[in-house]
Copies of this chain bind each other. A is one copy, B any other.
Amino acid sequence: MFTEQDARWMARALELARLGRFTTSPNPAVGAVLVQGTELVGEGYHRQAGGPHAEVFALCQAGSRALGATAYVTLEPCSHHGRTPPCAQGLIDAGVARVVAAMVDPNPQVAGRGLAMLREAGIEAEHGLMAAEAARLNTGFIHRMRTGRPHVTVKLASSLDGRTALANGQSKWITGPDARRDVHKHRALSCAVLSGADTVLADNASLNVRWTELPASLRGDYPQDRLRQPLRVIIDGQNRLTPDLALFSIPEPILLVRGGVSGGLPKWVEECVLPLSADGKVALGALLDELGRRQLNYLWVEAGARLGGALLTQGLVDELILYQAPKLMGSQARGLFELPCFDAMAQVPELQLSDCRRLGPDIKITAKVKN
């Protein structure tokens, strides 16, 4: 169905799409390539919501050479008037002969209508080429379109024996600088960072992205002047956080989930009261619904054993990223996840390994949670 040439051009479109991955949310990252015979005549990628879509850049570059060309797009061209006119119409108007999309857009406003529009205009429109790679680029967006909630990744750092801190709370530094830079990369890729008052108080953590702490290899793709801060979402059910904390000194949005509004915080802090669950805690499902309504695709959780355990027990974790340092802290040190006391191995939460690699002196494990 698809040729080797098709795959080569789609690979280029995916490469372009990746360049937008830090900045397109709430939109998906998308790349497009226009090919006339064996010659590339236009290419582009989506940079940020409100800005032109990938197809617009490619069409603009191609000009009249788009006539009779093949368009390779990593996501089905849109069919609706959003902040920009529909790309399917743009491709029709330019006289493109064939469109290959890696995958259908999961957005219910599109969901096949873009490809249908193209076909009605007599354009050969196919999809399914390198679909898995394209989906991996937009896991969060696809997840939100399907569930109304962000994709949730819980990050933890521990010793080889699964300990996050000594009995006295000391934990600096378990993992090395490579792991810490990798955490910064994930923060930068996320739409929001979730943490709890315990963690903020213990480390006086800012939870922002510091550009100079990103891995050097990324800084080319993500120049400092394009830096976007993820929304910092902090659960503070007992209103324990005070305005003097480092967190509040950085003038970037914070959503503070509290038991009641207390005021007296900088203007970039939004206090928000959410329903409580039966045990008097913030209802985490309701929080994810709220974050979904705010169009956040990726939620990165940096929290302690209690919040991590609660999310996991309630089936709200999609992925776990665990940084393990080659250290042994012993059975008296603090554990990774507070979970109920299980009676049988069959009750234990199971994950599926997606990746396992060395990162400086440490190990990075990525696993999907089977919910």
Instruction: Indicate whether A338 sits within 8 Å of B331 (C-beta atoms), given known contacts A343-B166, A345-B172, A356-B357.
Output: yes
Q: Kindly supply a per-residue 1/0 record for chain A positions 328-371, scoring 1 wherever the CB is within 8 Å of any chain B CB and 0 otherwise.
A: 11111111111111111100111111001110011101010000
In the complex, whether A309 has a CB less than 8 A from a CB of chain B is yes
Instruction: Indicate whether A328 sits within 8 Å of B351 (C-beta atoms), given known contacts A161-B162, A357-B356.
Output: yes
How near does chain B come to A176, taking the closest CB pair, in angstroms? 11
Stretch at the interface among A16-24, A40-48, A282-290, A319-327: A319-327
- Identify which of A342, A361, A363 gathers the most chain B CB atoms within 10 Å of its CB: A342
Interface pair A337/B341, CB less than 8 Å apart: no
In the complex, whether A159 has a CB less than 8 A from a CB of chain B is yes
What are the residues of chain B within 8 A of A349 when measuring CB–CB? 327-328
In the complex, whether A305 has a CB less than 8 A from a CB of chain B is yes
Interface pair A326/B352, CB less than 8 Å apart: yes
Interface pair A168/B343, CB less than 8 Å apart: yes
10 tightest A-B CB contacts, nearest first: A162-B162, A330-B339, A331-B335, A161-B336, A326-B351, A161-B162, A332-B341, A328-B349, A326-B353, A326-B367
| Tally of contact residues, A, Cβ under 8 A | 54
In the complex, whether A79 has a CB less than 8 A from a CB of chain B is no
- A309 to B328: give the CA distance in the assembly, Å: 10
What are the residues of chain B within 8 A of A320 when measuring CB–CB? 160, 328
Interface pair B330/A309, CB less than 8 Å apart: yes
Q: Kindly supply a per-residue 1/0 record for chain A positions 151-172, scoring 1 wherever the CB is within 8 Å of any chain B CB and 0 otherwise.
A: 0000000111111001110111
What are the residues of chain B within 8 A of A365 when measuring CB–CB? 160, 324, 363
* Subset of 22 A-B contacts with CB under 8 Å: A160-B365, A161-B335, A162-B163, A166-B344, A166-B345, A170-B343, A309-B330, A312-B328, A327-B348, A328-B339, A328-B348, A329-B342, A329-B348, A330-B337, A331-B335, A331-B339, A332-B339, A332-B341, A353-B358, A353-B362, A356-B357, A356-B363
In the complex, whether A174 has a CB less than 8 A from a CB of chain B is yes
Interface pair A327/B351, CB less than 8 Å apart: yes
Which of B166, B173, B331, B353 contacts A337, CB < 8 Å?
B331
- A168 to B344: give the CA distance in the assembly, Å: 9
What are the residues of chain B within 8 A of A158 when measuring CB–CB? 161-162
How near does chain B come to A180, taking the closest CB pair, in angstroms? 15
What are the residues of chain B within 8 A of A340 when measuring CB–CB? 330, 332
Instruction: Indicate whether A351 sits within 8 Å of B174 (C-beta atoms), given known contacts A330-B309, A339-B329, A342-B333.
Output: no
Chain B residue at smallest Cβ distance from A174: B345
Interface pair A342/B166, CB less than 8 Å apart: yes
Q: Which of A294-334 contact B (CB under 8 A)?
A: 305, 309, 312, 320, 322, 324, 326-334
Chain B residue at smallest Cβ distance from A364: B356
Interface pair A358/B358, CB less than 8 Å apart: no
Interface pair A160/B322, CB less than 8 Å apart: yes
Chain B residue at smallest Cβ distance from A363: B356
Chain B residue at smallest Cβ distance from A343: B168
17 extra A-B contacts, CB within 8 A, seeds A160-B351, A162-B162, A170-B344: A160-B365, A161-B336, A162-B163, A162-B335, A166-B343, A167-B342, A170-B343, A170-B345, A171-B345, A173-B345, A324-B365, A327-B351, A329-B339, A330-B338, A331-B334, A331-B337, A333-B342
What are the residues of chain B within 8 A of A329 when measuring CB–CB? 339, 342, 348
